[in-house]
Structures are given as C-alpha cells and as structure tokens.
Amino acid sequence: MDLLQVNDLKTYFFTEAGVVKAVDGITFNVEKGCTVGLVGESGSGKSVTAQSVLRIVPRPGKIIGGKIFFNGEDILSKKEDEMRSYRGKKISLIFQDPTSSLNPVFTIGSQLTEIVSQHKGVKKSDAAEEVIKALSLVRLPDPEEALNRYPHQFSGGMKQRICIARALLLNPELLFADEPTTNLDVTIQAQIINLLMELQKNIGLTLVMITHDMGIVTQMCKCVVVLYAGNVMEIGSIEQIFQMPHPYTEALLKAVPRLDQTRKLVSIPGNIPNLINPPSGCRFHPRCQYAIDRCKDEIPPLIDVGDGHMISCHRWRELNGG
Ligand SMILES: Nc1ncnc2c1ncn2[C@@H]1O[C@H](COP(=O)(O)OP(=O)(O)OP(=O)(O)O)[C@@H](O)[C@H]1O
Ligand code: SF4
Ligand SMILES: [Mg+2]
C-alpha cells in the first residue's frame, strides 16, 4: 500500500527576480515500509518536495498545485492546526546539518523532553524516560548522562544520532532524511546509513532518503525517484534504473564520485538550469548527449515503460533497443 502519494505537485517561489518553478509537476508514490531514494543534483527540488509534504515551504514559496495524500488523507486540504498534528507525529524530517538543527543553549534533555511533554501531555519524568528510550534506539552511548549535556559536547555523528532520535520521538510513520550524512566524514557517514537502515527494518519506518549520492541509494533503497530541474525524470527499482536508465540517470550514475573526492555530484557537463526560465521541452535537453530537435519542442510525458518503471524521455525506447 502507498503511504504517500504525490500527484502533479507544483511549488513555486515568488521572488523579485521572477517565479522560481522549483517543483513543477512532480508525481511519485512511497510504499509503506519501504526506503525510497529521492535523487538529483543540487537545485533539482528534493528539499522543496519534502518541505511541501510537511507544508513547511518557506516564504516566498507556495504550493500552487497538485495533491498530496498521506494514508489516503488529503494533506493540502488540511487546516494549519490539523497539519500540526502531522508534523513529527506522522511525518518527520531530519536535515543535513545536525549542528544548526539543535539549539546550542539548551541541554539535549530539555530540548527533547519538551517535545514529548508538549505533544503527549505527560509528566517530565515520563517524558525523560521516552527520550532515553529514543536515544538508546539510535545507540547514543550513555543516554541518561547525555540528557544533561549540550549539543557542542557531542561529535557531528553523535549530534546526527540525537537528531534522528528527536525525529522519531513521536513515532512517525514516514521519515524524510534530507542528505543526513553530507557534513559527516566517510566512516561516520556509513554508521549513520547503517543506523537508518536498521531503524527502517526494526521499527517498520517508511523512509525517503534524499541524496546526491548514488552509492547511498544503491545501498539503502528499493525504489528511486530521479528529479531534474523540478521534474521527475525517472522512477524505478534499483535494478531498473541501473539496467535501462533515463539519460539523466545514466549521467548521474557515471558521475558516482570516488571516495577520495568530494561527495557532491557535480561532474555532469553543463550547468543546472535557471528555474525562473527553465529550458523548453525536456528540461535536460541542453545537457543531454542524446538530445534531438523534438526534445527542445515537446515535453516528454512520464510513462510506464514496463513493470512500474516510469520514464520521461522521447528517446528512451529507441536507445534501449525498442
Ligand atoms: N527560499 C527560497 N527562495 C527562493 N528559491 C528557493 C528557495 N528555496 C529553494 N529555492 C529554489 O528552489 C529550487 C529547488 O531547491 P531545493 O532546495 O529543493 O533543491 P535540492 O534538490 O534540495 O538541492 P540541494 O541538493 O542543493 O539541497 C532551487 O532552484 C532553489 O534555488
Ligand atoms: S527527452 Fe531528449 S533531451 Fe530529454 S532525456 Fe530524452 S533524449 Fe535527452
Ligand atoms: Mg536540498
């Protein structure tokens, strides 16, 4: 069953320079209990998609079209106070930078117990118990002792564990992890990835893993949604996207960085387009090695090319022997 359905979502930023079409007609589903990878270069709309689902798009951004269903319920038609009971409780989010997402002036204990007592209306001591449980779940050493410490007393990896514990405090069903390992070194990165995979399995969490890194996707995800310039280019299983990738995914896969290089995927030739005035037709055409005139003129629809493999490309069939 699909826990999350996003249909033709459009989220634009109304800036002085013009309307930034950050998310421009994105459609994908997330099956309950799965880990779905949301991938694409910088600026492709990954974070704005997550913000849209939680309805926390910052100004001057606005969701201007489409539908989002969570457990069959229409998220975009909910009133703001109803929406508050979704954030953290049903859908949660962890960010790239654990340092800036924890408040430096309060202890871990006071920040986390506050969340529990506020939402569950329980006594401080009971809330502390729940926090200790969550910190143990993410295998933070010495969770009781950690309650009295401040964020700066922890390493980056430990801070990210604390952020994961915080995101899971209210037992959400769906967790968006927005590049949670980008700022961590490679060994710590692997530990956080393993932790997320373990949590996903053990507590049946549904996970949307946002990343630039196809290595992480291969390791963690069953299904992948590939975004480019606010559009979905491809949706498929790991096998499908490796065996017969969309031309953009193919370029992303070729750009898998080596461990000794920077972890950002930026080595596809050409620049990421301006989303105020995106390229006509297929948005990838100015950078696509297979582009023909038709690609410039006609927007390729996202179609099922077999077994749920969705592709938006005029030439995919021909390039794949069909
Ligand atoms: N607050 C904002 N104001 C104006 N434009 C914004 C704002 N936030 C995002 N955008 C624009 O929306 C587009 C998509 O941004 P988004 O942050 O979703 O990209 P991303 O795929 O998460 O990239 P990254 O990998 O760098 O995090 C970008 O062109 C970005 O400039
Ligand atoms: S539609 Fe054309 S430009 Fe776009 S990915 Fe396919 S071949 Fe490349
Ligand atoms: Mg982002």
| Contact predicate 53/45, CB 8 Å | no
The confidence score (pLDDT) of residue 178 equals 96
Average pLDDT over residues 142-164: 96
The confidence score (pLDDT) of residue 321 equals 83
Please give the full DSSP string across 52-65, using - where no structure is assigned.
HHHT-PPTTEEEEE
Digit-coded pLDDT (tens) for 206-236: 999 999 888 899 999 999 999 999 999 999 9
Average pLDDT over residues 18-33: 97
Partners of 92 in the beta sheet? Answer: 175
Average pLDDT over residues 277-304: 97
Number of helices (H), then strands (E), in the chain: 13, 12
Using pLDDT thresholds of 50, 70 and 90, give the confidence band for residue 265.
very low
Residue nearest to atom 1 of ligand 2 (CA): 313
Question: Buried b / exposed e across 120-142, counting CB within 10 Å, b at 16+?
Answer: eeeeeeebbebbbebbebbebee
Residue nearest to atom 31 of ligand 1 (CA): 43
Torsion of CA 175, 73, 113, 50, to 10 degrees: 40
The confidence score (pLDDT) of residue 10 equals 98
Digit-coded pLDDT (tens) for 187-205: 899 999 999 999 999 999 9
Digit-coded pLDDT (tens) for 110-140: 999 999 998 888 888 899 999 999 999 999 9
**Calpha distance 317→111 (Å, rounded):** 53
| pLDDT higher than 60, residue 6 | yes
Structure tokens at 267: 């080595």
Using pLDDT thresholds of 50, 70 and 90, give the confidence band for residue 257.
low
pTM: 0.94
Angle, vertex CA 178, rays to CA 285 and CA 223, nearest 5: 65
Average pLDDT over residues 39-54: 96
State whether the beta carbon of 285 lies less than 6 angstroms from ligand 2: yes
Digit-coded pLDDT (tens) for 95-110: 888 888 899 999 999 9
Residue nearest to atom 29 of ligand 1 (CA): 43
The confidence score (pLDDT) of residue 256 equals 63
Average pLDDT over residues 11-40: 97
The confidence score (pLDDT) of residue 189 equals 92
The confidence score (pLDDT) of residue 21 equals 98
Strands 61-70 and 231-237: unpaired
Q: Which residues contact 13 (CB under 8 A, 6 or more apart)?
A: 19, 20, 22, 60, 61, 62
Please give the full DSSP string across 251-319, using - where no structure is assigned.
HHHHTPPPTTS-S----SSS-PPPSSSPPSSSTTGGG-TT--HHHHHSPPP-EE-STT-EE--SSHHHH
What DSSP character marks residue 236? E
Average pLDDT for the chain:
93
The confidence score (pLDDT) of residue 186 equals 87
**Calpha distance 133→173 (Å, rounded):** 18
* Residue of 266, 300, 268, 258 lying closest to 282 (CA atoms): 300
Using pLDDT thresholds of 50, 70 and 90, give the confidence band for residue 49.
very high
The more confident residue out of 170 and 258 is 170
The confidence score (pLDDT) of residue 254 equals 84
Query: How close is the Cα of 129 to the center of ligand 3, in Å?
Result: 33
* Cα dihedral sign, 214-87-58-6: positive
Residues with CB under 6 A from ligand 1: 13, 15, 20, 22, 40, 42-48, 58, 61, 212, 275
Average pLDDT over residues 239-264: 79
Question: Chain centroid to CA 235: how far?
Answer: 14
Residue nearest to atom 5 of ligand 1 (CA): 13
Instruction: Give all domains of the chain, ordered by start, each with its CATH number.
Output: 2-90+172-319 (3.40.50.300)
| pLDDT higher than 60, residue 264 | no
Q: Which residues contact 109 (CB under 8 A, 6 or more apart)?
A: 128, 131, 146, 147, 148
* Cα dihedral sign, 49-53-58-64: positive
Query: How close is the Cα of 283 to the center of ligand 2, in Å?
Result: 8
